[in-house]
C-alpha cells in the first residue's frame, strides 16, 4: 500500500515503429479515419506504438525494478514485424478500438510478452490474463456518430500492407494524462541482440 506522498508513475512497455515509411502509412490511414468526422479519438502521431504490456500506476522503486528486469530481454535477437491490415475490437461491425495488425514477428513479440509477465509477477504485479494479440492502436470509437463511414473504411483497409519494421529495442514508457491527450516519456530502453 502506498502512502499519500508517494508519487506514482503510470507506465507501460512498448515497441515503437522504427521504419519511418511504415509509420507514415499508419499515420495516413489513421488520418483517413479522422477525416470521417465520426465520433472517434485518434492516436497522436508521436504516440503510435505497439503496447507489449500496460502496467498502470506504480511507485518509483517498482519502476526501477521493472527497468532492471527488462535487461533480461537483451538475448532476444533483433527481428522484423510485418504490419498488415486494419481490424477492430471487439469486431469490424461494432468497433471500439481500431488497430493495425501484425502478421510476422508474432512469435518474438509473444516471447517478449511472456517474459515480461514472468518478471512482473515476481514483482507482485497482477498478471494480465487477456490473450496477447499484438496490434498497433490507431483510434478509439467514442460513439455511434459516423459509424457507417468508419465501418466502410475498416472494409477498405482490411488487407492494407503497411510493410516491415525492425524491432531493435523495447521501451519502458511513462504516460502523463493531459486534457489534450497523453504525453509519453521514455524511461528506459533495452537493445535486443544484434
Q: What are phi and psi of 162, to 5 degrees?
A: -85, -35
Q: What share of the chain is helix, strand, coil (3-state, %, to 5)?
A: 30, 40, 30
Give CA–CA dist 106/133, Å, rounded.
Answer: 9
The pLDDT of residue 136 is 99
Percent of the chain predicted with pLDDT > 70: 98
Residue 1 belongs to a domain: no
- How many other C-beta atoms can be found within 10 angstroms of the C-beta atom of residue 108? 19
Q: What is the dihedral of CA 117, 188, 109, 57, to 10 degrees?
A: 40
The pLDDT of residue 3 is 53
User: Cell triple for residue 60?
Assistant: 518509483
Residue 3 belongs to a domain: no
On the question of pLDDT at 4 being above 80, the answer is no
Q: What is the mean pLDDT of residues 71-99?
A: 98
Q: What is the pLDDT of residues 162-190, one digit of tens each?
A: 999 999 999 999 999 999 889 999 999 99
Pure H helices in the chain: 20-34, 60-70, 106-122, 147-156
What single string gives the DSSP state of each residue in 165-189? EEE-EEEEEEEE--TT--EEEEEEE
Q: 30, 53, 135, 171: which is the annotated catalytic residue?
A: 135
CATH of the domain at 187: 3.90.1140.10
β 169-176/79-90 pair status: unpaired
Residue 61 belongs to a domain: yes
Residue 178, exposed/middle/buried by CB under 10 A (0-12, 13-18, 19+)? Answer: exposed
Q: What is the pLDDT of residues 144-166, one digit of tens each?
A: 999 999 999 999 999 999 999 99
On the question of pLDDT at 5 being above 90, the answer is no
β 135-141/40-42 pair status: antiparallel
* Alpha carbon distances (Å) from 98 to 41, 76, 81, 93: 10, 29, 19, 11
**HSE (side-chain half, CA atoms, 13 Å) at 4:** 0
Q: What is the pLDDT of residues 19-46, one digit of tens each?
A: 999 999 999 999 999 999 999 999 999 9
Q: 49, 115, 171, 173: which is the annotated catalytic residue?
A: 49
On the question of pLDDT at 2 being above 80, the answer is no
Expressed as residue numbers, the domain containing 122 is 8-191
| Count: domains in the chain | 1
On the question of pLDDT at 88 being above 70, the answer is yes
* pTM, rounded to two decimals: 0.94
Residue 116 belongs to a domain: yes
The pLDDT of residue 146 is 97
Q: What is the pLDDT of residues 108-124, one digit of tens each?
A: 999 999 999 999 999 99
Residue 2 belongs to a domain: no
How high does pLDDT run on average in the chain? 97
- Catalytic residue at 135? yes
Residue 53 belongs to a domain: yes
User: Cell triple for residue 27?
Assistant: 499515420
Contacts of 10 (CB under 8 A, 6+ apart): 56, 57, 174, 175, 176, 177
Amino acid at each position: 500500500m502506498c502512502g499519500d506522498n508517494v508519487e506514482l508513475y503510470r507506465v507501460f512497455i512498448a515497441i515503437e515503429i522504427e521504419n519511418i515509411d511504415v509509420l507514415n502509412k499508419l499515420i495516413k490511414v489513421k488520418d483517413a479515419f479522422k477525416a470521417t468526422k465520426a465520433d472517434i479519438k485518434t492516436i497522436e502521431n508521436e504516440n503510435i506504438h505497439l503496447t507489449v504490456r500496460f502496467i498502470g500506476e506504480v511507485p518509483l522503486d517498482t519502476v526501477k525494478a521493472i527497468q532492471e528486469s527488462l535487461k533480461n530481454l537483451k538475448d532476444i535477437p533483433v527481428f522484423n514485424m510485418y504490419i498488415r491490415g486494419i481490424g477492430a475490437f471487439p469486431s469490424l461491425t461494432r468497433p471500439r478500438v481500431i488497430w493495425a495488425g501484425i502478421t510476422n514477428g508474432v512469435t518474438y513479440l509473444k516471447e517478449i510478452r511472456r517474459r515480461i509477465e514472468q518478471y512482473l509477477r515476481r514483482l507482485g504485479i497482477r498478471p494480465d490474463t487477456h490473450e496477447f494479440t499484438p496490434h498497433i492502436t490507431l483510434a478509439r470509437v467514442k460513439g455511434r456518430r459516423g459509424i457507417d463511414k468508419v465501418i466502410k473504411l475498416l472494409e477498405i483497409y482490411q488487407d492494407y500492407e503497411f510493410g516491415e519494421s525492425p524491432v531493435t529495442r523495447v521501451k519502458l514508457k511513462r504516460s502523463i494524462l493531459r486534457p489534450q491527450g497523453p504525453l509519453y516519456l521514455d524511461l528506459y530502453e533495452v537493445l535486443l541482440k544484434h
